[in-house]
Amino acid sequence: MKKIDRKDFLKIGGGAVVGGLAGYTLSGAPFLGFQWLVEWSQDQYVPAPGIEKYVQAVSDSCTNGCKVSVRMIGNRAVKIESKDGVCPACLNGLQLLYHPERISTPMKISGKKGSGNYQPVSWDQALKDISSKMNALVNEGKANTIAAVNKNESLNGQLMEKFVRNAGSNNVYYEPSLNSITSNALGGYVKYDFAKTDFILSFGAKLVEGWGNAVEMQKQFLNWKKNNVKIVQADSVCTRTGGIANEFVGINPGTEAVLAFGMANYLITAKRMTSSGDDFAKWSQLIINKYPLGKVAKLTGVAEDKIKKLADDFAAAKNPVAVAGKGAHGVSGSSAEIIAVYCLNTLVKSGAATLVKNSAVSYTAEFAGLDKFIKEGSFSMMFLNGSDPVYKSVYGEELKKKLEKAFVVAIAPLMNDSAVYADYILPPLSFLEAETPESKPAVKALKESKDAKEIIISLAAMVDKTKNALPKTSADAYKSAGRETAGGKFSFNFEKIKADIEAYEKKLGQNAEYPVTLVPYEAPLVGDGDGLAFPYVLKSIDPSVLNLGKFYVMMNKETGKKHGFSEGSSIKISSARGKLGKAYVHLSDVVAPETVAIPLGFGHESYTKYGNEKGLNPKKIMTADVDPLTGAADWWSTRVKIS
Amino acid sequence: MIVKDSAMKRKWGMAIDLDKCTGCGACSIACNQENNMPIFEDDSDVPKRVAFLELMKVTNDRDAKFPDVKTAFLPKMCQQCEGNAVGKHKADPPCVSVCPAVATDVGDDGVVSQIWSRCIGCRYCQTACPYEARVFNWWKPEYEGSFKNSLSTDVSVASRGTIVKCTFCSHIWKRERDKATANGILDINAVLYTPACASACPTGAIIFGDLNDPESEVSKLAKSDRAVRLVNTVDDETPEKQKALMSKKQYANPKVYYLTSQKWLRDMMRFKKNS
Ligand code: SF4
Ligand code: SF4
Ligand code: SF4
C-alpha cells in the first residue's frame, strides 16, 4: 500500500467529498458520495459463521513437534492454542496456512530464472520431469552432481538425505544450524543438561531468545530462576539474554573465542586443569603462547582480573557449563570458538554437556558444509527442501549464478529468494493440513499441496536407483525417524584450526580502512528472516528496528558522537565485500563501543509482498571466510567503514 | 436461559512478570489473531498500525553506559484503568467520561469495554488515554484474500473511522459464561477465563484473574513488593498522601500490574531517573 500520512489522508478525504459533489453536479452520478460514506460506516467484512470446535495438530515449525489445539469455526482454523503456551513460530502456522501468496499447485518456470514467472502443472508432469532428469544423471554417472539443501533435520529433511544419498550423491547439506555446525566442529552436537547445572557461562548464545531448542529453553529459563542458577552472558550487544543474566560481561565484538582462550589459558596454567580431548597438548601450548591474559584483556576489553574471577567462579561451581552458538536463529561457523568454549567444559569436567548424534542425519558431505559447497562446489541438479540459502548464506549472490545454470527443484509453501531460481516449485502442506501418527489433518489441504514427506517418497519411487530405498508411506517414515546416539570423541582438531586461532589477533587488531565492527542482532519474531512473510510479525516490530520504511542500526552513543552520527541520521556501511544501502542510526548503549549492530532477517528480495524490500540484508557484506571444519562462513562480526 | 442474578463481584486484572518475559512475541501474535487485527501490506508503518498489544523494548541506556546496560521487553496493552472518585465525580477511567457516544464504558466486571460499532470516531478517548492504548482505524480494516479464513466470529471487524482497543478479550469471558450457563452453572462468579495473550505466553509471564478475590494469584501478585504500575505517579506516595491526592485529583489506577525486581526497570516505569 502506498504510504499516506495523516495530512495526505485529510486531503484525500476532502478530495473525495469534492469529487463526490463534482460527480453529482457534473457527471450525473449522484451516488458517488454515498459510496464513500458506506465505506466509512457499513462496509466491514463479516467472517463466515460455523460450529466451534477444537482439534489437535502436531507442529512442524521446528524439530520439536509440539502438540497444539486448533480452534475451528466450521472448517476454518482461527487460532492455535496450547495449555503450555505456544511459541511464535508455531502461531505463525495459521498465517502460513491462509497466506494469500501460498503456492497451491506444482509450478513450472515460464520465464527467466529469478523473474518469478511460473505456470501451474500437474503433479504427474512435475514428478515425471524431475525423476527422468535424475535418472538420466544417475545413468550418465553424474549422480554426484545432484545436491540437496535441507532447512533442518526434520523427518522430511531426513528423507531427503536418504533419497539423494541413495541416488549416489554425497552432496546433502543442511542450512547451518547450531546442531550442524557444532557437530562438524566437535564430532557431535552438544546435549546440554540445563536442569542439572548451577552456573551457565554463555559466550553470546541468545539463550532465552530462541537459541537451541526454544521450547525446552523457555522451560529451563523458569527453572533457573527458581533454582538460582547463575547466568553469565558475555556479548558485545546486551540483548534480552544479557538482560536476564545475573552478570553481563561486555566484550568487544567478535572476541567470544578470545575470551574463551584466555579463560582456558588461566585454568590450564594457574589451576593445572587438563582436557581429555585429542590434541590437547598442542592446542594448550598454542593458546598459552599466543593468548596470555594481558593480550586477551586488551583484545576483549575485559580486565585481566575480571577474566580470572570469571574463570575461578566457573571452576568453583558444582556443575558449570559453558555455552557457545551465537544467535537465536542465525549461527556463525567458527569452530575455533566452538572448540575453545567446549574445552572449558572438559577442563572443569562439566556433567551438563555431552556430545551426541542423530542416527539419521549425517553432516558429512562432499564439502565440509554448505557455504564451502556454494563457494567451491558445482551441481547440475539441486533440491531446496524448505531452505532459502540464497537469502541466508553470505554466498547468496554466488549461489544465484549457480542456480541459474542448474535444474532446481524447490519444495516451498511460499516463494522465497532461492525458490525464485527453481525450475519446479512443489507445494508442501502446512502442519495444520498434515496427518501425523498422533493427529488427523485439522483442515483440508489447500488445493493440490502435498505433505513434503510424500513428495520425496513419490519422487524416490520414480528414480530407479532409489526405488526401494525409502519407506513406502509417510506413516512408515515416522518409524524410521532418527534416534539420538552417542557422539564421537572430542578432538581439538589442532592441525585444522591452528591457523584460525592465530588469525584472531590480526582480525581484531587496528584496521585503518575499516575501523568499526558490524555485528547482527535478532528482533523478536523476525529471527533470521523466516518470520518476515507474516503480517502479524511486521505488526510487532519495534519502531527502533523498522519504522515508516526506515531501517535502523544501533550504534553506541560515544561512538556515534566520535564518527559524527546523531539519532536518526542516515548511515552507509561498507566492508571489503561491498556496500549496503541506506540505513538510519539509533543511538543506544546496549551496543559495545566501535560497534554497529544490524538487525538480521530483513532485506528479502522475493519473500512475498509482506517480506520484500523491507530493510537490508547484512549478509551481503558480512565476512565470508569459510571455517575449515564446519564449512560454514564465520560471518558474525565484520570490519566495516561507516559514512 | 435466565442467568441467576448473582451479585457480580468480578474485577478482572492482570499481572505481567517482566522478569519472566523473554520478549518472544507470542502474546502479540496471539492477540492479533484472537482479535481479528487488520492486515496491511506494510504494518511496520507504526503510526498507521492497528494492534492492541505493543511489545515494547525497554533499555536503561538513557542513564547507563555499556556494559552496565540492561534490555527488557514490556507487553503493553490497555491498562484497564479504574480511575478514582473525586468529589461528586465517580471513579472512571480517563477514557470513558470523555466519550460522547457511550461507546466505551466500564462493565460490572471492571473491564473497560469498547464497542466499535457505536464509536463515532471523535478520538476524544484516544487523546485522554495516558497509555496510548487506543488506536484509530484511519483505513478500512483489510484482510487480503485467504487471510479472511482465519478471522474469528467472536470479534466483529471494525469499520473505518472507529477507535479500537484491548478489551481483556472479554469475548472469551462471554463465551465461557455462555458455556457455563448451558451446562447449568448459573453462578457467574464460578466462571474463569484466560485472555489470548496470557494463554499464549510460553513462560507463563502473564497472569490473569479476579482482583476482587483475595485468594487469586493475580491479587497476591498485585500486592507483592515486585508489583509496579505503569506511570501511575500516585503509587509512589505514602498511603495517607495517596488518599489525600486521590480526593482531589484523578489518577489512571490501572488494573494491569507489572512485576519486576529490577530496580532500573521499576524506575523507568515510574518516570524516575535511574540511580
Ligand atoms: S489504558 Fe487508556 S484505554 Fe485503557 S482504560 Fe486506561 S485510559 Fe482507557
Ligand atoms: S487481553 Fe486480549 S485483547 Fe488485551 S492484549 Fe491480551 S490478547 Fe490482546
Ligand atoms: S509471550 Fe510471554 S514471554 Fe513472550 S513476549 Fe509475551 S509476555 Fe513475554
Question: Which of B40, B59, B160 has its CB closest to that of A1?
Answer: B40
Please give the span between the terminal C-alpha atoms of chain B, in angstroms, as a whole number. 59
On whether both A194 and A160 belong to a single domain, the answer is: no
Q: What number does the ligand 2 atom closest to the CA of B34 have? A: 7
What is the rounded CA–CA span in Å between residue B64 and residue A126?
60
Residue A464: predicted pLDDT = 96
Percent of chain B topping pLDDT 70:
96
Specify the CATH number for the domain of residue A171.
3.40.50.740
Q: Per the CB < 8 Å rule, is B153 touching A73?
A: yes
The better pLDDT of the pair A340, B41 is held by A340
**Are the beta carbons of B61 and A41 separated by less than 8 Å?**
no
Whether residues A410 and A531 fall in one domain: no
Question: A157 and A212: one domain?
Answer: no
Domain stops at, among A357, A379, A410: A357
CA of B26 to the centre of ligand 3 (A): 6
Do A259 and A203 belong together in one domain?
Answer: yes
Q: What average pLDDT score do residues B144-164 get? A: 93
Assess whether the C-beta atom of B53 lies below 6 angstroms from ligand 2: yes
Domain-embedded: residue A67: no
Question: Of the ranges A247-251, A318-322, A330-334, B49-53, which one carries the lowest mean pLDDT score?
Answer: A330-334
Contacts of A349 (CB under 8 A, 6+ apart): none
CATH of the domain at A576: 2.40.40.20
Average pLDDT for B23-41: 95
Question: Cα separation of A163 and A385, whole Å?
Answer: 12
Please give the grid coordinates belonging to residue A120.
501451474
Average model confidence (pLDDT) across chain A:
92
Task: Decide: A643 and A571 in contact? Cβ < 8 Å.
Answer: yes
- In a shared domain, residues A554 and A629: yes
| C-alpha span between B155 and B169 (Å, rounded) | 9
Count other C-beta atoms under 10 Å from residue B240's C-beta.
8
Q: Is the peptide bond preceding residue B67 cis, with omega within 30 degrees of 0?
A: yes
Ligand 3 atom closest to Cα of residue A218: 3
Nearest-by-Cβ selection for B44 from A86, A538, A589: A538
A474 plus A336 within the same structural domain: no
Quick one: pLDDT at residue A6? 41
Cα A547 to averaged position of ligand 2 atoms, centre (Å)? 23
Among the three residues A303, A325, A357, which one is the final residue of a domain in this structure? Answer: A357
Kindly report, residue by residue over A438-493, the tens digit of the pLDDT.
Answer: 999 999 999 999 999 999 999 999 999 999 999 999 899 998 888 999 998 999 99
The total domain count for chain A is 4
What would the 3-class secondary structure string for A351-391 be?
CCEEEEEECCCCCCCCCCCHHHHHHHCCCCEEEEEECCHHH
Asked if the structure places residue A502 within a domain, the reply is no
The H-or-E segment that residue A574 falls in is: strand A573-575
Q: Smallest Cα–Cα separation from A528: which of A600, A438, A427?
A: A600
- Per DSSP, helices labelled H in chain B are 26-34, 124-128, 170-182, 196-200, 217-223, 239-248, 263-269
A326 at B interface, C-beta within 8 A: no
**pLDDT tens for each residue of B234-251:** 998 999 999 999 999 999
- Residue range B165-196, pLDDT digits in tens: 999 999 999 999 899 999 998 887 888 899 99
Dmax (CA) for chain B in angstroms is: 63
Task: Search chain B and give the residue with CA nearest A50.
Answer: B153
Q: Are residues A337 and A466 in the same domain?
A: no
Is residue A92 domain-resident?
A: no
Domain of A269, CATH number, reads 3.40.228.10
| Rounded distance between C-alpha atoms, residue A54 and residue B206, angstroms | 23
Atom of ligand 3 nearest to the CA of B24: 4
User: How far apart are the two ends of chain A, measured CA to CA in Å?
Assistant: 31
% of chain A exceeding 90 in pLDDT:
86
Give the 3-state secondary structure of residue A113.
Answer: coil
Q: Show which of A323, A357, A391 is a domain's final residue.
A: A357
Q: List, for residues A210-262, the tens digit of each pLDDT value.
A: 999 998 999 999 999 999 999 999 999 999 999 999 999 999 999 999 999 99
- Residue located via cell numbers 474463569: B192
CA B82 to centroid of ligand 2, rounded, Å = 17
According to the model, what pLDDT value does residue A41 have? 62
Q: Could you tell me the distance, in angstroms and rounded to a whole number, from the CA of residue B11 to the centre of ligand 2?
A: 16
Evaluate if residue A38 carries a pLDDT over 70: no
Q: pLDDT value at position B7?
A: 55
Say yes or no: A202 and A336 in one domain: yes
Residue range A66-89: mean pLDDT, rounded: 93
Residues of chain B by 3-state class (helix, strand, coil), percent to 5? 25, 15, 60
For A615, name the nearest residue in chain B, comparing CA atoms only. Answer: B44
CA of B116 to the centre of ligand 1 (A): 15
Q: Is the pLDDT of residue A195 over 70?
A: yes
User: Do residues A267 and A118 share a domain?
Assistant: no
Using the predicted structure, report yes or no on whether residue A313 has a pLDDT greater than 80.
yes
CA-nearest residue for atom 8, ligand 2, is B31
With an 8 Å Cβ cutoff, is A35 touching chain B? no
pLDDT, position B154: 94
A372 and A234, same domain (yes or no):
no
Residue B214 is classified by DSSP as T
Quick one: residue A261, left, alpha or beta (phi over 0 = left, psi -120 to 50 = alpha)?
alpha
Average pLDDT of the segment spanning A363-371: 93
Q: Does any domain span residue A573?
A: yes
Eight-class DSSP state of B193: -
- Residue A497 forms part of a structural domain: no
pLDDT > 70 fraction of chain A, expressed in percent and rounded: 93
Domain that holds residue A556: 510-642
Q: Is residue A65 part of a domain?
A: no
Mean pLDDT over A114-122 rounds to: 96
Same domain, yes or no: A320 and A338: yes
Rounded to whole angstroms, how far apart are CA atoms A483 and A48? 44
User: Does ligand 3 have an atom closer than 6 angstroms to the CB of B127?
Assistant: no
Distance from C-alpha of B243 to C-alpha of A224, rounded to nearest angstrom: 40
CA atoms within 13 A on the CB side of A343: 35
The correct CATH number of B12-269 out of 3.40.50.300, 3.40.50.10490, 3.30.70.20, 3.40.50.720 is 3.30.70.20
Calculate the alpha carbon distances from A504 to A46, A501, A633 in Å.
61, 6, 15
Q: Are residues A330 and A205 in the same domain?
A: yes
Q: CB–CB of A542 and B200 under 8 A? A: no
Stretch 437-496 of chain A: residues touching chain B, C-beta under 8 Å? none
Burial class (CB in 10 A: 0-12, 13-18, 19+), A120: middle
Residue A492, domain member (yes or no): no
CB distance from A238 to chain B under 8 Å? yes
Strand duo A230-235 + A638-642: pairing = unpaired
Residue A20 lies in a domain: yes
- Please give the residue that has the higher pLDDT: either A361 or B79: B79
User: Contact B113/B167 with Cβ under 8 angstroms?
Assistant: yes
pLDDT in tens, B90-111: 888 999 999 999 999 998 888 9
